[in-house]
Structure formats: C-alpha cells, structure tokens
Amino acid sequence: MESLRAFVRTLGPVRLAVLGSVALALAGFFIWMIARAAQPPMALLYGDLEVSEAAKITAQLDAARIPYQLNGGGLRFLSRPIRLPAPA
C-alpha cells in the first residue's frame, strides 16, 4: 500500500487530474451505454405527416398509452416494433 502511495505522489497534480478526468469520462460513457441499451428499440410508425395529422395521432397514442418518440420536427413517429401473430 505504501508503494502505491509513493507512486501516486510521483505522478504530480497534472497527471492525477488527467487520470481523474479520463476515469470520469469512461464512467460517464458506460453509464450512457447502459441507459441506451435499457431503452426499447424504436421503429418508424408514421412519417411525413401534416401537423394536424400528427396532433391527432399523438392524442390517440396517448389515449392508448403506447410509448412513442417524435422525430423530424414532430412529423415522424417512432414506436416499439409490434409483433403480429402468425396467420392461422
């Protein structure tokens, strides 16, 4: 343990600051990756809509509690892919 302390003392404040910032950047990157992986994948539901159509669809999706994302200035809807049952 004493050798580790001696090694840290020899690094100096600038190198310690660089090592600390790299460690924080790596931790932030991994937190971002984990949060991104936890989100469900989204697929295009509707695209190239008029503003009035987009407002109606937004109201219907909210009423049905279907999660969605707006993209392209609110004129493209992304939603979770829906798996349909196989035809009988």
Q: Indicate yes or no: pTM above 0.75.
A: no
Amino acid (one-letter) located at 62: D
Whole-angstrom distance, CA of residue 16 vs CA of residue 51: 53
The answer to whether 41 and 81 have CB atoms below 8 angstroms apart is yes
Domain ranges in the chain are: 1-39, 40-82
Q: Which residues pair with 43 in a beta bridge?
A: 79
**What digits encode the pLDDT tens for the residues 10-56?**
988 899 999 999 999 999 999 999 988 887 777 787 888 888 888 88
Q: Is 41 buried (19+), middle (13-18) or exposed (0-12) by CB count in 10 A?
A: exposed
Which residues lie below 8 Å from residue 79, measured CB to CB, with a gap of 6+? 42, 43, 45, 61, 66, 67, 68, 69
Mean pLDDT, residues 62-78 taken together: 78
